[in-house]
Structure 1
Amino acid sequence: MYFVTGTDTDSGKTLISSALLYLAQGNKCGFKPIASGCELTPDGLRNADAQALMAQSNMGLSYQQVNPIAFEPAIAPHIAAQHTARVLDAKEVVAHLLSTPMLTADFALIEGAGGWRLPLGHNQYLSDSVKQLDAYVQHNHAERIGVILVVGMKLGCLNHALLTLQAIEADGLHLVGWVANQVDANMSEIAANLASLQQMMTAPYLGYVPYLSQPSAERAATYLALDAISL
């Protein structure tokens, strides 16, 4: 069971999450508990990231199970929640995930929103949900929630990656792997930056996905090593 976070918004969490689901075997499912930037459709609000995860899942989950908290504006979720007088709560996110067949899956993946410290408001963060879920599965199933970090390769990513790693470890979570995903097509010194990350990051390296002009789960998957994840 894995939680995918990123060094920032638009680091490529959905692309990498979809690629990991594509590579996974057996019963697999992906979740996007909180999403903003959704489209209003006849069936309700729909988020492209959540739909991408559903396309690589095979457990027949409903959209509501995959993305229970959806906002139309492409803004920070806690601000979008304020506009609709909704209160975001870390425990609510955990309760929803546990109400799904997630625990019965061979491979379950939860994609975060934004970075590790995504605010929910009222001094809560999405990372609190991950901590609570990790505590639950440890106590009841003797397992852990493994965190996977997607490093959006652009200027400043070294600092973002190291600070995120420190925050994850300070929260008592286990970073089981990281992916370098090139989001800036013109980033200078890609090889040198990647080498620096490989030297400084303490978690297993799952691969480098170059800038893809036509990204897809299948293409990104060719650059990843799912079996390198270390629980």
Structure 2
Amino acid sequence: MTTESLTVPVRVGDQFAVGRLGVEVGDRVRLSLDLEGHDPVGAEGADVLDALTGLRRQVEDAGGLLWVNGARRNVHASGMLREARGGRLAYVLPERPTPEQPETTDVLVGAAPDADVVSCAEQQRWFDAYRGVPEQARSGRRPTPREVAEARDNPGAWVYVIAGGRDPDGEVPPEAIEGAWKVGPDGVILGDFVENPHYRPSEQAGS
């Protein structure tokens, strides 16, 4: 068995804290997280990614996010890569599928403070959409942090993108709406940006 101890960020609300991540790799993988002021949590799995998913879910249940590369929205490992590297490495998928092999990242390394770290469920939804929608049908547009926050406050609704700096609470003509994001019942944006066919960018200049 091999053991390792890493320092990793954990986000709780708007604040970051530093936790100690213990890694034990044998016939199975066990991950444990110690964070000051919180009860220790741990998870076991067939490989590193399997154990990491279990650990992330426990942190999410406590109201936090484990801020590591493996929790970034567009990080995913193929079965072949997981088998070859024990789930320690995963691909960083580009915005649109390409013929080139994506770069890889260590899933247990702490992510940058501004990284697009998401919950397990949101990461899986993103990958399902990425895998299931043909490249030519994808707009390539990603929600901004403001739009993600607005979605969180409006579960089951739509987040509209309005051009020209118009007040979204005022009267907005259809041609000023660029499009919208569908929001799921848990406040998470679903799928791709839906463009408004009636949007007229030329008419919004100077608005």
TM-score (norm: length of structure 2): 0.27
Greater Cα radius of gyration, structure 1 or 2: 2
Give the number of the structure whose residues are more often strand, by fraction.
Answer: 2
* Higher relative contact order, structure no. (Cα contacts within 8 Å, ≥ 6 residues apart): 1
